[in-house]
Amino acid sequence: MSALNMSYSLLVMVYDRLYAIRDPFGNRPLCVGTVFSKEDGTPSAYCASSESCALPANSKLNFEVSPGEIVELSAKGIRSVMQMKPSTPQAMCIFEYVYFARNDSEIEGQQVQTVREECGRTMALEDDIEADIVGNVPDSSLSAAIGYASQSGIPYEPCLHRNSYVGRSFIQPNDTMRQNAIKMKFGVLKKKVQNQRIVLVDDSIVRGNTMRTLVKMLKEAGAKEVHLRIASPPVKFPCFMGINIPSNLELIAAQKSIPEIAEYVGADSVRYLSVDGLVKSVQKGIARAVNFSPGHCTACLTGKYPVPIEI
């Protein structure tokens, strides 16, 4: 494990036992749970998952595998068979909280949904916009929008409806087809947005194509102003820890300034949560739940990678 300078969470089956292995950086989550019999409530199996939300309903989360740890699951139970001494700073991917993880998962001892609300509250503290309503891009940014609304005092109102039965828009072969797919995927709640100054919250903006279409749809439906608020910092750098962003040429924040992004998407203003604000929002709950010093990878936001990288 000490020789592999990379991100991994592994499950390895050897004969009659399973090993859950997490890299020394702790870059990706990994947890272990116990499944209980529905008949008598006794332990009937043990399981491991990247997220606690995947554990069966008749189970409980035992613990999260620590960075650099190997945990054995067998008929005899669960035991830690190896724990590396920390040789590298912890570098849990902070985007698990922003986007990847499901709201009902627990990571580092805290509910992901709670962290996303805290990001929204922090973003409102950093902001000074005057608006009539707070809305969001469905569905992953709802928690951040609720947090923003509660902190700012601006009422939350749903502005957009998401059609769950339409496929992904970004795989369409050309821009016209992508825009049509976005319009099929999202609908505007016109009665909610007419003559309103809207704070539109989203969890992140990577390329900007979807947002450009959504802002246009809101304004065509009668919105007076659309102020885009992103509950994470600008994504400016590629990820080399397992996420398919090989080049910053694909990233709008790496190619345009914030005023240029606002002009491109057609928003009246664009503002992002600061890196410091994101880190504080994430680590606030960890300090309450676990007595250790957490560390998070912010490479896609800051360009500071946990391993030496030549770009």
pLDDT at position 164: 75
Q: 229, exposed or middle or buried, with CB in 10 Å at 0-12, 13-18, 19+?
A: buried
pLDDT at position 289: 53
- Mean pLDDT over 205-226 rounds to 93
Confidence of residue 1 (pLDDT cuts 50, 70, 90): confident
Confidence of residue 89 (pLDDT cuts 50, 70, 90): confident
pLDDT at position 163: 84
| Pairwise CA distance, residues 41 & 37, whole Å | 5
User: Which range has the worst mean pLDDT, 69-78, 202-211, 295-304?
Assistant: 202-211
| Pairwise CA distance, residues 242 & 93, whole Å | 10
- Would you list the DSSP string of 210-274? HHHHHHHHHHHTT-SEEEEEESS----S-B-SSSSB--GGG-HHHHS-HHHHHHHHT-SEEEE--
Confidence of residue 250 (pLDDT cuts 50, 70, 90): confident
pLDDT at position 174: 56
pLDDT at position 165: 66
pLDDT at position 241: 85
Confidence of residue 290 (pLDDT cuts 50, 70, 90): low
Return phi, psi of residue 158, to 5°: -65, 135
Verify cis geometry, omega within 30 degrees of 0, for the bond prior to 139: yes
pLDDT at position 171: 40
Per-residue pLDDT at 170 exceeds 90: no
pLDDT at position 118: 98
Return phi, psi of residue 133, to 5°: -140, 155
Per-residue pLDDT at 235 exceeds 90: yes
Rounded (10°) angle between helices 275-289 and 112-125: 140
pTM: 0.90
Per-residue pLDDT at 125 exceeds 60: yes
pLDDT at position 244: 74
Confidence of residue 168 (pLDDT cuts 50, 70, 90): very low
pLDDT at position 185: 86
| Pairwise CA distance, residues 84 & 67, whole Å | 8
- Mean pLDDT over 104-114 rounds to 95
Per-residue pLDDT at 279 exceeds 70: yes
Confidence of residue 262 (pLDDT cuts 50, 70, 90): very high
> How high does pLDDT run on average in the chain?
90
Per-residue pLDDT at 277 exceeds 50: yes
Per-residue pLDDT at 133 exceeds 90: yes
- Mean pLDDT over 106-124 rounds to 97
Domains and CATH numbers, the chain: 9-88 (no CATH), 95-276 (3.40.50.2020)
Q: Is 171 helix (H, G, I), strand (E, B) or coil?
A: helix
CA dihedral 117, 118, 120, 122 (to 10 degrees): 170
- Would you list the DSSP string of 96-157? IIIIIS-TT-EETTEEHHHHHHHHHHHHHHT-----SEEEE-TTTTHHHHHHHHHHH-PPB-
CA dihedral 100, 105, 111, 114 (to 10 degrees): 50
Confidence of residue 246 (pLDDT cuts 50, 70, 90): low
The more confident residue out of 240 and 65 is 65
Percentage, residues of the chain above pLDDT 90: 74
